Amino acid sequence: MFFTKTHIILILGIALLSNVLKAQDNLTIYWQPQISLNYKVSKNYSHNFAIANRSYLYQEEDFVFNVRQYDISHFSNLKIRDNQSVGLGVQYRIREIFEDDKSNELRFTQQYNITQKYRSLRLGNRFRAEQRLLTSQTIHRFRYRLALDLPLQGVQLDIGEPYFIISSESLLSTTKASKPEYDQRITAHLGWLLSEKTKLQVGSEYRFENYTQKTENVLFILTSLIVSL
């Protein structure tokens, strides 16, 4: 299948418009900037460090700007084949200083990732298990993400050129005290390879949270700076 920049922009625009139309009620909007640092230890082993901020932009039918949380995370990734890898992660979420009725969170993650490439298009399947440790409860979460990315100019990505990423992720969260919660996330990014080791990404993510009980509509505006050493 052949994609042009016009096709990609059209698909992204339709997706964003569809999300806005569906989210007439019970909508929350966040801005989430993030800085990531990738460090390659060896050919098959690497680390990722990241810090992210999440702030309210729209809440309870009103425009606001309030910080919700900070996330600090580390991930170790081991390549077991050319197109497969496993990883372990830890994240600490700082929230209670911004919202008195919420608690901080410690999160552990286990991951398996497999990719396939078709000319300039790359397809990724990611499976994750998470343990979210909060003051009042422990949440076990299981995630599957299907992602597609490709350069928007030529077959391979060169410095100064843009690229596009789109993904869909399904989540199941379980606890002892409540019913299972099902979420769905749709994410689109437009990125640029600024230099051999630096990328800039902007995009959006739409979440249908707890959609089998009472759906919460959440829209994220995303900005990311990714530096590789």
Residue that wins the pLDDT comparison between 7 and 190: 190
In the chain, the domains with their CATH numbers are 5-228 (2.40.160)
Q: How many CB atoms lie within 10 A of CB 187?
A: 19
The C-alpha angle with vertex 107 and arms to 101 and 110, in degrees rounded to 5, equals 155
**CA 49/CA 53 separation, integer angstroms:** 14
Mean pLDDT along residues 215-223: 94
Each residue's pLDDT tens digit, 125-167: 999 999 999 998 999 999 999 999 999 988 889 999 999 999 9
pLDDT of residue 156: 87
DSSP assignment of 93-132 equals: EE-TTT-TT---EEEEEEEEEEEEEETTEEEEEEEEEEEE
Instruction: Provide the pLDDT confidence category of residue 18 given band limits of 50, 70 and 90.
Output: low
42: helix, coil or strand?
coil
Predicted TM-score (pTM) of the model is 0.89
Each residue's pLDDT tens digit, 113-128: 999 998 889 999 999 9
Mean pLDDT along residues 1-20: 55
